[in-house]
């Protein structure tokens, strides 16, 4: 079975993004599932960035190392990724003499570690030294004269090369693809797809690919892999898309009927709003257009002055009857704390899409973390329940984005949809999402409301019918209030009103099906259980498969809804296992604390990662085995640059 | 839906201090809405925190009482979703020029068609009379143990700098004149500021009724006063005269319309460049499902992500 | 002062290219080195600008002169140097240019980062 990792690195802005995008498309055209993880610094231009692309037949949901092939477009990539190499290292012969100390953009701490390793192996601190070390380790090192291939490309293209970065990257990537036996035609098609409409760029890139393939054929035929077999999806019946987590949430929101999105620019959330903005005026399906007599839909996307305004504005839009959401990350959601409570007390339906990144404070803006779970659950003052759902992959994110909009309106509450950088920025192939099972449920809406309107009427399920501003006279206040929304501090009414608000969440807990809250993957009778959430899912699913092949039967309990929390089910699964290991991407083991709070079960072993990098499959496998062998209570993961 | 006798004032007991300027303001609001014939369910008053923020509670139109400083974003959201509504904001100088100053500025940049009634009394009444952003430097009210050491912000100048297209000033106890100003503000298409000078008899013993009434005068009583920008080339001159008027304070305080720019497009005019039908079919009016099913197809919209 | 230029020209023997003395792009005032990738740059002599290699040469060659204090691009350090410290870079043999070449479409390759 094909399970391949293709890694390409270079300077931020130096064509790594388009190289990765093209490579993803190549493997999709080849019939595979793909998962592309991007890593980059909080820097616009010039620091190191890379793309780790996982290629599999059935499921690609997590990055892995070692990489079958590492393509290094510059010297820094060689120094940064030589330990990632599984089989091939493609490098530029033009930088062989480059000394690690001459690379200004590289972190001094990484430099020191690399130099120590090179010293220990008796090789110089140059690219040449690293290549010698890799040769010693039996890796296939593939030197490519990038500049002369670029020259050939320029001559053959007969035009001035408009984009140097985008020809160099194509050459490097193409040599890499050729080495692992991918046909040139797929790359040519991928170039056309990715640069659709930009003929000026397509042509030189296709030529660059051809030049690279010719060069690889002439020079590396002895180490070349044989032709890569076609994957199972080489002729897919349904349209396939390649999307980031940000993209797919935007798509989910459009499918889910979002009509007002507010945001203040922040990483890693902003791309979602930018993408919504791009498609703010969108076509309806022909069937819907006919039924509604309306061809198009439109989303008002507002870039606000700050996140405080973003959430308050979304709340305002929701009171007037539009599905409204905002999108942010840790620092932004901190500013939203007060408005979250406001939405809670006035029972305003609003969705906050929260993309976690390394914190606290500005922390590591471009790096992954799962450290805002406690924030999502407990931010805001007062007795303030909310719905908190965490997506584990792109597909979950799509449907969760729709469900979040439904839950917000149905239970008239803020919903926090948790995602993380590892998903937001990872590119994933998807079949066109199936909407046949998707329901748009706006909850209790009074279309012919009396004047004035008892907006907060006591009901059995705690949910009062809603009327929109403008359909009648409705009163809202951030103060405690009576059934008409008028300020009221009567102690007897206070109990009733507070209980009504809490009751909604009992109703939600009952009505929301278990499969939306938690999933147990693998053998339900396995004695070893991993507990995780969010992006841990991808690595965990692979890990339990690999461990099974090694004779270790492990299942994975994937937590999705943290409020209302499926306490009984989680407790029953955990109590059945003899060994429970929590896996998560934060230092406090926040989900483990939440599990204990809601179930009383203390997870005895923890595998955690807070380097800001995603959990790689193999390090999870190794660490699970380590826990099983040693009984260690805590393992801290650190793989990846 | 309309009842026989349209009521704008709620039955709620108004709990403002005796002599509070808010009694005048709320009456002017009521009269303005009534005279403009805006039915209560098509009007919204969005309040901040403080004495001003209680207006929505005492009116019988839609009322949205919000957080301290945040009525502008909430009101903007309401208007963006449902532009047919008349959206008023009742907020204090602390709300708009202190904790919510970023929103005050941003509102001018957007020029959404909302009317901001700025209750300008120089103090934080509900927390025992601390100095607010419009209290003059070194003024010591009875409520302050020591003189104020912060300079005041000039709401007229800040609004002008921020791009407000309607800037006026009224006086809380001149209900009829205030009503006319509020009517003009509502009728203006764009963000309108009415800076309402309002004595706080409980905490501000400096800016009193007597103090104001010795100084205030109406601009429309002056010969040749014309604050309206009809053509872009008039802008600079009109801004200059507004600045000059905005700087008057110690001796004389001008009331009335200080500035009105009819040349700048309102926010929906701007949005229409991006979504042509958005004013006719605004967010609240757009269907999002047919019998509970979505009305879009992902692969039909996001064609840039297709790999086929 | 410009000995670094000659020295660099000698160092350019990579990829087996011939070195035509010092009248090469690397030493030419019309040349802008690529901001990231070494040995590649853009000739700004005639529009549209053309990609060339540091050891290319042509009849429009004019010697680059780094003799006045200014904000130069140090291709060795990949950063801007100030009028105060440009001389220090020159002394250390660094390559200075008035500007690097940054592709106009570079934003298409960039991320949201803060």
Supply the CATH number for residue B41's domain: 3.40.50.970
CB atoms within 10 A of CB B15: 11
Band of pLDDT at residue C18, cut at 50, 70 and 90: very low
B22 touches chain A (CB under 8 A): no
Number of domains into which chain B is organized: 1
Band of pLDDT at residue A158, cut at 50, 70 and 90: confident
Parent domain of A604? 515-636
What are the backbone dihedrals phi and psi of residue A282, each rounded to the nearest 5 degrees, phi first?
A: -125, 155
Domain end (from A223, A257, A286): A223
pLDDT confidence of residue A159: 67
Q: What is the DSSP letter of C20?
A: -
The question of ipTM being above 0.95 is answered as: yes
To probe the interface with C, which of A42, A44, A77, A272 has the most C CB atoms within 10 Å? A44
Domain assignment of residue B194, yes or no? yes
Domain assignment of residue B15, yes or no? no
pLDDT confidence of residue B5: 78
pLDDT tens digits for chain B (308 residues)?
444 578 999 999 999 999 999 999 999 999 999 999 999 999 999 999 999 999 999 999 999 999 999 999 999 999 999 999 999 999 999 999 999 999 999 999 999 999 999 999 999 999 999 999 999 999 999 999 999 999 999 999 999 999 999 999 999 999 999 999 999 999 999 999 999 999 999 999 999 999 999 999 999 999 999 999 999 999 999 999 999 999 999 999 999 999 999 999 999 999 999 999 999 999 999 999 999 999 999 999 999 999 98
Contact between C112 and A271 using a beta-carbon 8 Å cutoff: yes
Distance from CA of A194 to the nearest CA of B (A): 8
pLDDT confidence of residue B61: 97
pLDDT confidence of residue B55: 97
Chain B from 129 to 158: CB within 8 A of any A CB: none
Rounded Cα distance between C97 and B140, Å, is: 62
Percent of chain A with pLDDT over 70: 99
Domain end (from A495, A512, A529): A512
Domain assignment of residue B225, yes or no? yes
Nearest alpha carbon to residue B210 among B197, B196, B194, B195: B197
Do A273 and A167 reside in the same domain of the chain?
no
Q: What average pLDDT does range C61-88 have in this prediction?
A: 93
Contact between C16 and A365 using a beta-carbon 8 Å cutoff: no
Domain assignment of residue B124, yes or no? yes
Domain assignment of residue A230, yes or no? no
Number of domains into which chain A is organized: 4
Domain assignment of residue B237, yes or no? yes
Q: Is residue A157 over pLDDT 70? A: yes
Q: What residues of chain C lie within 8 A of the CB of A365, using their CB?
A: 113-114
Contact between A45 and C39 using a beta-carbon 8 Å cutoff: no
Distance from CA of C107 to the nearest CA of A (A): 7
Rounded Cα distance between A61 and A620, Å, is: 14
Band of pLDDT at residue A82, cut at 50, 70 and 90: very high
Do A530 and A401 reside in the same domain of the chain?
no
To probe the interface with C, which of A17, A41, A76, A165 has the most C CB atoms within 10 Å? A165
Torsion of CA B68, B71, B77, B78, to 10 degrees: 130
Chain B from 97 to 116: CB within 8 A of any A CB: 102-103, 105-106
Rounded Cα distance between A120 and B102, Å, is: 57
Measure the CA angle with vertex A129, ends A127 and A134; round to 5°.
95
Q: What residues of chain C lie within 8 A of the CB of A43, using their CB?
A: 113
The structure's pTM equals: 0.96
Do A398 and A483 reside in the same domain of the chain?
no
Question: Alpha carbon of A323 to those of A253, A299, A555: distances in Å?
Answer: 9, 10, 38
A93 touches chain C (CB under 8 A): yes
Interchain touch C–B (≥3 Cβ pairs closer than 8 Å): no
pLDDT confidence of residue A162: 62
pLDDT confidence of residue C70: 93
Q: Which residue of C has its CA nearest to A357?
A: C114
Lowest mean pLDDT among A98-112, A147-161, B35-49, B167-181: A147-161
Band of pLDDT at residue A236, cut at 50, 70 and 90: confident
3-state secondary structure of C106: helix
Do A459 and A422 reside in the same domain of the chain?
no
Q: Is residue A166 over pLDDT 90? A: no
Do A606 and A527 reside in the same domain of the chain?
yes
Contact between A298 and B73 using a beta-carbon 8 Å cutoff: no
Q: CATH number, domain at A151?
A: 3.40.920.10
Domain assignment of residue A270, yes or no? yes
pLDDT confidence of residue C13: 38
**B117, B90 in Cβ contact below 8 A?**
yes
Contact between C114 and A163 using a beta-carbon 8 Å cutoff: no
pLDDT confidence of residue B4: 58
Q: What average pLDDT does range A293-305 have in this prediction?
A: 97
Domain assignment of residue A228, yes or no? no
pLDDT confidence of residue A1: 87
- The subunits that touch chain C, with at least 3 C-beta pairs less than 8 Å apart, are A
Contact between A241 and B302 using a beta-carbon 8 Å cutoff: yes
pLDDT confidence of residue A160: 67
Lowest mean pLDDT among A200-204, A206-210, A343-347, A390-394: A200-204
Do A388 and A449 reside in the same domain of the chain?
no
Q: Is residue C1 over pLDDT 60? A: no
Q: CATH number, domain at A547?
A: 3.40.50.920
Do A504 and A539 reside in the same domain of the chain?
no
Contact between A317 and B80 using a beta-carbon 8 Å cutoff: yes
Q: Which of A292, A322, A432 is nearest residue B299 as measured by Cβ atoms?
A: A432
Domain end (from A160, A192, A223): A223
- The subunits that touch chain A, with at least 3 C-beta pairs less than 8 Å apart, are B, C
Q: Is residue C9 over pLDDT 50? A: no
**B43, B11 in Cβ contact below 8 A?**
no
pLDDT confidence of residue C4: 44
Domain assignment of residue B2, yes or no? no
Do A304 and A157 reside in the same domain of the chain?
no
Strand partners, B149: none
Do A500 and A542 reside in the same domain of the chain?
no
Q: What average pLDDT does range A95-106 have in this prediction?
A: 95
Band of pLDDT at residue A165, cut at 50, 70 and 90: confident
Do A450 and A568 reside in the same domain of the chain?
no
Q: What average pLDDT does range A154-161 have in this prediction?
A: 80
pLDDT confidence of residue C15: 41
Q: What is the DSSP string of chain B?
A: ---SS---B-SSPP-PPTT-THHHHHHHHHHHHHHHT--GGGEEEEE-SSSGGGHHHHBSSEEEE--TT-HHHHHHHHHHH-TTSEEEEEEEHIIIIIITHHHHHHHHHHT-S-EEEEEE-SEEGGGT-EE-TTSPTT---TT-SS---SPPP-HHHHHHHHT-SEEEEEETT-HHHHHHHHHHHHHSSS-EEEEEE---TTT-SSS-HHHHHTTEEEGGGSTT---EE-SGGGHHHHHHHHHHHHH--SS-EEEEEEEEESSSPPHHHHHHHHSTTTTTS-GGGS---BTTB----HHHH-GGGB--
C-side interface with A, Cβ within 8 Å? 14-17, 34-40, 42, 48-51, 53, 76-79, 101-103, 105-106, 108-114
To probe the interface with A, which of B6, B8, B64 has the most A CB atoms within 10 Å? B64
Rounded Cα distance between B243 and B247, Å, is: 6
Q: What residues of chain A lie within 8 A of the CB of B49, using their CB?
A: 478
Rounded Cα distance between A170 and A212, Å, is: 8
Domain assignment of residue A456, yes or no? yes
A170-186 pLDDT, tens digit each: 999 999 999 999 999 99
Q: CATH number, domain at A355?
A: 3.40.50.970
Domain assignment of residue B1, yes or no? no
Q: Which residue of A has its CA nearest to B3?
A: A451
Q: What residues of chain B lie within 8 A of the CB of A435, using their CB?
A: 293-294, 296-298
Contact between A339 and B70 using a beta-carbon 8 Å cutoff: yes
Rounded Cα distance between A617 and A3, Å, is: 12
Q: Is residue A215 over pLDDT 50? A: yes
CB atoms within 10 A of CB B30: 20
pLDDT confidence of residue B1: 44
B153-196 pLDDT, tens digit each: 999 999 999 999 999 999 999 999 999 999 999 999 999 999 99
Domain assignment of residue A399, yes or no? yes
Domain assignment of residue B104, yes or no? yes
Domain assignment of residue A119, yes or no? yes
Give buried/exposed letters for C83-112 (b at 16+ CB in 10 A, else e).
Answer: eeebeebbeeebbbbeebbbbeebebbebb
Q: Which residue of A has its CA nearest to C39?
A: A147
Band of pLDDT at residue A169, cut at 50, 70 and 90: very high
To probe the interface with A, which of B5, B272, B307 has the most A CB atoms within 10 Å? B307
Do A399 and A543 reside in the same domain of the chain?
no
Do A405 and A332 reside in the same domain of the chain?
yes
Contact between A470 and B42 using a beta-carbon 8 Å cutoff: yes
Q: What residues of chain C lie within 8 A of the CB of A146, using their CB?
A: 37
Q: Which residue of A has its CA nearest to C46?
A: A160
CB pairs under 8 A between A and B: 262
A462-497 pLDDT, tens digit each: 999 999 999 999 999 999 999 999 999 999 999 999
pLDDT confidence of residue C67: 86
């Amino acid at each position: 079975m094909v399970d391949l990792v293709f890694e390409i690195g270079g300077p931020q802005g130096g064509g790594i993004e388009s190289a990765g995008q093209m490579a993803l498309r190549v493997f999709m055209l080849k019939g595979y599932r793909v998962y592309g993880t991007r890593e980059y610094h909080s820097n616009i231009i010039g620091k190191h960035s890379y793309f780790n692309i996982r290629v599999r037949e059935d499921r690609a949901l997590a990055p892995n190392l070692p990489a079958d092939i590492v393509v290094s477009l510059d010297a820094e990539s060689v120094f940064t990724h030589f330990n990632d190499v599984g089989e091939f290292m493609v490098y530029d012969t033009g930088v062989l003499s480059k000394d690690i100390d001459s690379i200004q953009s590289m972190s001094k701490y990484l430099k020191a570690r690399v130099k120590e390793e090179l010293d220990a192996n008796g090789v110089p601190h140059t690219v040449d030294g690293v290549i010698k070390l890799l040769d010693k380790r039996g890796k296939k090192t593939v030197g490519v004269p990038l500049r002369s291939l670029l020259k050939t490309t320029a001559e053959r293209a007969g035009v001035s090369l408009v984009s140097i970065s985008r020809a160099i990257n194509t050459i490097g990537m193409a040599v890499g693809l050729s080495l692992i036996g991918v046909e040139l035609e797929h790359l040519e098609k991928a170039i056309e797809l990715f640069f659709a409409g930009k003929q000026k760029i397509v042509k030189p890139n296709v030529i660059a690919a051809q030049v690279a393939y010719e060069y690889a054929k002439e020079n590396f035929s002895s180490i070349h892999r044989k032709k890569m077999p076609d994957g199972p999806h080489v002729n897919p019946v349904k349209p396939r898309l390649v999307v980031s987590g940000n993209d797919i949430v935007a798509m989910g929101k459009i499918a889910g009927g979002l009509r007002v999105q507010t945001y203040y620019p922040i990483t890693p959330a902003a791309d979602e709003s930018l993408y919504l903005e791009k498609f703010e005026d969108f076509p309806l399906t022909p069937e819907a257009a006919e039924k509604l007599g309306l061809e198009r839909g439109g989303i008002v996307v507002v870039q606000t002055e700050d996140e405080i305004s973003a959430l308050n504005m979304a709340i305002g839009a929701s009171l007037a009857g539009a599905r409204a959401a905002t999108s942010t990350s840790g620092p932004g959601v901190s500013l939203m704390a007060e408005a979250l409570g406001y939405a809670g007390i006035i029972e305003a339906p609003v969705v906050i899409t929260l993309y976690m990144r390394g914190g606290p404070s500005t922390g590591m803006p471009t790096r992954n973390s799962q450290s805002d779970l406690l924030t999502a659950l407990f931010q805001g003052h007062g007795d303030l329940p909310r719905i908190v759902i965490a997506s584990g992959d792109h597909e979950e994110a799509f449907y969760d984005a729709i469900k979040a909009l439904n839950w917000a309106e149905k239970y008239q509450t803020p919903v926090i949809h948790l995602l993380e950088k590892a998903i937001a920025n990872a590119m994933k192939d998807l079949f066109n999402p199936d909407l046949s099972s998707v329901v748009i449920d706006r909850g209790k809406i009074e279309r012919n409301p009396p004047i004035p309107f008892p907006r907060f009427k006591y009901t059995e399920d705690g949910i009062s019918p809603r009327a929109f501003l403008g359909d009648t006279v409705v009163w809202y206040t951030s103060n405690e209030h009576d059934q008409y929304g008028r300020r009221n501090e009567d102690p007897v009414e206070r109990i009733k009103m507070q209980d009504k608000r809490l009751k909604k969440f009992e109703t939600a807990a009952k009505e929301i099906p278990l499969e939306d809250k938690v999933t147990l993957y693998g053998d339900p009778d396995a004695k070893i259980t991993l507990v995780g959430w969010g992006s841990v899912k991808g690595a965990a699913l692979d890990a339990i498969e690999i461990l099974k092949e090694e004779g270790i039967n492990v299942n994975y309990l994937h937590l999705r809804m943290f409020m209302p929390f499926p306490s009984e089910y989680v407790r029953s699964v955990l109590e059945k296992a003899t060994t429970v290991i929590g896996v998560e991407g934060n230092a406090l083991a926040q989900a483990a604390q939440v599990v204990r709070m809601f179930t009383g079960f203390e997870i005895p072993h923890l595998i955690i990662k807070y380097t800001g990098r995603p959990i790689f499959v193999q390090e999870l496998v190794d660490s699970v085995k380590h826990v099983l062998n040693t009984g260690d209570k805590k393992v801290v993961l650190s793989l990846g640059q | 839906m309309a009842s026989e006798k349209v009521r704008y004032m709620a039955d709620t007991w108004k709990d403002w201090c005796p002599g509070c300027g808010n009694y005048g303001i709320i009456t002017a609001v009521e009269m303005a809405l009534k005279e403009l014939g805006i039915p209560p369910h098509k009007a919204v008053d969005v309040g901040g925190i403080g004495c001003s923020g209680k207006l929505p509670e005492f009116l019988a139109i839609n009322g949205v009482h919000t957080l301290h400083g945040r009525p502008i974003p909430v009101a903007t959201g309401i208007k963006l979703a449902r532009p047919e509504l008349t959206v008023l904001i009742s907020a204090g100088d602390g709300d708009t020029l202190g904790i919510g100053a970023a929103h005050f500025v941003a509102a001018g940049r957007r020029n959404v068609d909302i009317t901001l009634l700025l209750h300008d009394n120089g103090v934080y009444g509900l927390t025992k009379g601390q100095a607010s952003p419009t209290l003059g430097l070194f003024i010591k009210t009875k409520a302050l143990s020591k003189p104020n050491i912060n300079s005041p912000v000039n709401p007229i100048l800040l609004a002008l700098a921020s791009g407000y297209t309607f800037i006026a000033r009224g006086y809380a106890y001149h209900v009829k004149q205030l009503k006319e100003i509020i009517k003009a503000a509502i009728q203006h298409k764009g963000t309108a500021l009415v800076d309402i000078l309002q004595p706080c008899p409980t905490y501000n013993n400096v800016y009193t009724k007597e103090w104001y009434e010795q100084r205030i005068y109406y601009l429309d009583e002056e010969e040749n006063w014309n604050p309206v920008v009809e053509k872009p080339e008039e802008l600079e001159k009109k801004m200059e005269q507004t600045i000059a008027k905005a700087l008057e304070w110690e001796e004389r305080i001008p009331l009335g319309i200080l500035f009105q720019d009819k040349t700048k497009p309102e926010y929906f005019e701007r949005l229409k460049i991006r979504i042509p039908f958005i004013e006719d079919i605004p967010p609240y009016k757009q269907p999002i499902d047919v019998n509970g099913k979505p009305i879009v197809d992902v692969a039909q919209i996001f064609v840039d992500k297709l790999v086929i | 002062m410009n000995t670094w230029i000659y020295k660099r020209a000698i160092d350019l023997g990579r990829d087996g290219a011939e070195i035509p003395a010092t009248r090469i792009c690397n030493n030419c005032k019309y040349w802008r080195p690529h901001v990231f990738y070494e040995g590649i740059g853009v000739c700004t002599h005639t529009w549209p600008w053309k990609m060339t290699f540091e050891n290319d040469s042509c009849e429009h060659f004019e010697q680059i002169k780094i003799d006045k204090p200014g904000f130069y691009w140090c291709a060795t350090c990949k950063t801007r140097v100030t009028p105060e410290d440009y001389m220090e870079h020159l002394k250390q043999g660094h390559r200075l240019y008035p500007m690097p070449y940054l592709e106009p479409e570079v934003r298409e390759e960039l991320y949201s980062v803060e």
